[in-house]
Amino acid sequence: MSFTPLTPDLVNELTGLIGAERCSITLADRDLHAQDSGFHVAHRPEMVIWPEDAQQVACVLQWASKNHVPVTPWGVGTGLEGNSIPVYGGILLSLQRMDRIIEIHADDFQVTVQPGIGHKDLNAQLVRYGLFFPPDPGANATIGGMLANNAAGIRTVKYGASKDNVLRMEVVLADGRIIHTGTRSVKQSAGYNLTQLFVGSEGTLGVITEATLKLVPVPQHMSAMIASFETVEAAIETVVAVRGSGIDVAALEFLDETNTRMLNSTGTDIPPAPTLLMEIHAAHAETLAADIVLVEEICRESGAIHFRATSDPTERAVLWHARHHGYETLRRHHPGQSIFIMDVAVPISAFPTLIAFARETIAAHNIVGYMKGHAGDGNIHIELPFADDAGYQRAKQVNGVIVLKAIALGGTCTGEHGVGIGKAAYMRAEHGEALDVMHDVKRLFDPNGILNPGKIFPPEA
C-alpha cells in the first residue's frame, strides 16, 4: 500500500479545515498514540486529530480519501492486537473528545452515546437508573472501540458481546457521508444489517460517531462462587457440565494454578489450583439460592476440592478486581518482559481438547504460559512472557500452532480481541473464500484504502 506523506503543506491545509485546537503534530502527542496495550510494535502517526462532532470526522475522512492519507480511529488504546496502531502513519483520529451521553432512554433500557465515553464511566452514570451496559473487557475501553472491535469480556456468557448490545449507530463513511444504521426498535427486519457490518470491522469500513446501546437492569441478587480442582481437566469438564445444566451463569472464568498464585499477591486468598470463578445474577433470592446449590453439586461431582459462594459485595469486588488486574500483576511478576496474549475460542465441547493441546504445546516449546479464559464461552487467553526477539518468535510460533488447532476444532482465531495486526495471517485459514468477499466489501466502502490500513487482511488478500 502506498500513501501520501503528510507534508507541512498538507498538515496546514487540514489544520485549517478542522481547527488548530483539534490538531497536533508534536512528538509527545504522536507518541501517546503509537501503541495500544498489547505487544505489537509501536508506530507513530504523523498527526493526531481530535474531532468534536460527526461533521468534523466527515471532513477529515473526505479530505483523507481525496489525498490518499491513512486514518486510524482511536478510542483510548486498550486494544491488544494492534487494532489501533497507525502502522502506515498518517492521521490518528482520536474520538476522545466525543464522550457525551446524548440521551438516556430509561424506559426502553437504552442509552445513546458518543463513541469516546468509557464503558465504566458510562455505567457510573447509569447506576442511578438501575441499568448497566453489560459487556466488560476489563479495561475502561471506549464504547466506540468496543463496538469497532466487538469487545466481549467476562459477562458475555449471559449478556452477549458488544455486537449483541447495540441497536442503532451513526457512522461516517470514507467518502464523508454520514449514515444511520438500525433503529431504536429491539426488533428490526428492514433490509441489510449494516449495524453488524460495521461492528467488529475495526475502523476499516467507517468511523462510528454515535450508538444506541441496549442496557439491562442491575440484577437484584448476585453471588460470586469460586471452585478449585486438582487438575485442569476436572475444572474444564465442570465448565461443560455447568453450561449443560442450563443455569444462566453471568460469568464462568477459568484460571490456571500459576494465575491463582499470582492473584493472591494482590490480596485475594484463592487456593493455588486450577480454579473456576463464577457469578450468578438473579431477580429473586430464591433463584440465586437454588442456582448456587446446583452449581456446588456439579462442582463437587466433578471433584472440586474447594467451593465457596459469596454474596458479599466487597468480597465479590476483590475477586473480580484481582481477575481484571491479572495482566498488570503478571507484568509485575515478569519485570522488563513483554507479554504475548493469545485469544482463541472454540465450541464448548472442544474446550477440554483445546486446553490440553495448548498445555502440551507450551510444554513442548519449553516456555512459560499462564492460562485464563472466559471458559463459559469456550474462549481462552494464554499469556506468554518474553524477554527478547527469540522469545517473541517462540511465543508467536506457539500462538500459530494453537490458533490453527482452534480453527480445526470449529473455532475462531479470535473470540474478542479482534484481528488487528496479529491475527491477519490466520484469516484465510478460518474463512477461506469468504475472506475475498470481505475484501470486496472493504474495497466497496473504502476504495482508496485509507481506513485503518494494514489491519484484518493479510498482505496477500
Kindly identify the residues of this chain, within the stretch 182-201, that bind a copy of itself according to CB under 8 A.
183-194, 196-197, 199-201
CA dihedral (276, 282, 288, 294) in degrees, to 10, reads -50
Identify which of residues 228 and 302 has a Cβ nearer to a copy of itself in the complex: 302
Q: Closest separation between CB of residue 65 and a copy of itself, Å?
A: 15
Each residue 95-134 as x (binds a copy of itself by CB under 8 A) or -, in order, gives ----------x-xxxx------------------------
Contact residue for a copy of itself among 42, 179, 364, 387 (CB under 8 A): 179
Q: Is 397 in the site for a copy of itself (CB under 8 A)?
A: no
Contact residue for a copy of itself among 51, 378, 385, 449 (CB under 8 A): 378
* Site residue total, a copy of itself (CB under 8 A): 91
Q: Closest separation between CB of residue 228 and a copy of itself, Å?
A: 24
Identify which of residues 219 and 271 has a Cβ nearer to a copy of itself in the complex: 219
Contacting a copy of itself within 411-440 (CB under 8 A): 411-419, 423, 426-427, 430-435, 437-438, 440
Identify which of residues 40 and 374 has a Cβ nearer to a copy of itself in the complex: 374
Q: Closest separation between CB of residue 30 and a copy of itself, Å?
A: 28
Strand partners of residue 93: 49, 73
Tell me the CA distances in angstroms from 126 to 105, 110, 134, 219, 324, one per residue in order.
11, 10, 11, 13, 21
Q: Closest separation between CB of residue 35 and a copy of itself, Å?
A: 21
Q: Closest separation between CB of residue 21 and a copy of itself, Å?
A: 30
Q: Is 404 in the site for a copy of itself (CB under 8 A)?
A: no
Contacting a copy of itself within 330-359 (CB under 8 A): 345-349
Q: Closest separation between CB of residue 384 and a copy of itself, Å?
A: 20
Q: Closest separation between CB of residue 186 and a copy of itself, Å?
A: 5
Contacting a copy of itself within 15-54 (CB under 8 A): none
Contact residue for a copy of itself among 16, 41, 120, 244 (CB under 8 A): 244
- SS3 for the chain, per residue? CCCCCCCHHHHHHHHHHHCHHHEECCHHHHHHCCCCCCCCCCCCCCEEECCCCHHHHHHHHHHHHHHCCCEEEECCCCCCCCCCCCCCCCEEEECCCCCCEEEEEHHHCEEEECCCCEHHHHHHHHHHHCEECCCECCCCCEHHHHHHHCCCECCHHHHCCHHHHEEEEEEECCCCCEEEEECCCCCCCCCCCHHHHHCCCCCCCCEEEEEEEECEECCCEEEEEEEEECCHHHHHHHHHHHHHCCCCCCEEEEECHHHHHHHHCCCCCCCCCCEEEEEEEECCHHHHHHHHHHHHHHHHHCCEEEEEEECCHHHHHHHHHHHHCHHHHHHHHCCCCEEEECCEECCHHHHHHHHHHHHHHHHHCCCCCEEEEEHHHCEEEEEEEECCHHHHHHHHHHHHHHHHHHHHCCCECCCCCCCCCCCHHHHHHHHCCHHHHHHHHHHHHCCCCCECCCCCCCCCC
Contact residue for a copy of itself among 13, 53, 121, 164 (CB under 8 A): 164
Contacting a copy of itself within 273-332 (CB under 8 A): 282-284, 286-287, 290-291
Q: Is 55 in the site for a copy of itself (CB under 8 A)?
A: no
Contacting a copy of itself within 201-230 (CB under 8 A): 201, 205, 216-217, 219-220
Identify which of residues 196 and 268 has a Cβ nearer to a copy of itself in the complex: 196
Q: Is 2 in the site for a copy of itself (CB under 8 A)?
A: no
With cell 502517526, the residue in question is 45
Strand partners of residue 59: none
With cell 437508573, the residue in question is 129
Contact residue for a copy of itself among 150, 223, 228, 361 (CB under 8 A): 150
Q: Closest separation between CB of residue 397 and a copy of itself, Å?
A: 20
Q: Which stretch binds a copy of itself (CB under 8 A): 44-52, 143-151, 227-235, 299-307?
A: 143-151
Contact residue for a copy of itself among 8, 9, 28, 246 (CB under 8 A): 246
Contacts of 398 (CB under 8 A, 6+ apart): 361, 362, 365, 367, 369, 384
Q: Which stretch binds a copy of itself (CB under 8 A): 93-101, 314-322, 376-384, 392-400?
A: 376-384
> Considering just the CA atoms, what is the radius of gyration of the chain in Å?
22
Contact 283, 219 (CB under 8 A): yes
Q: Which stretch binds a copy of itself (CB under 8 A): 29-37, 172-180, 262-270, 298-306?
A: 172-180
Contact residue for a copy of itself among 43, 374, 381, 405 (CB under 8 A): 374
Identify which of residues 367 and 407 has a Cβ nearer to a copy of itself in the complex: 407
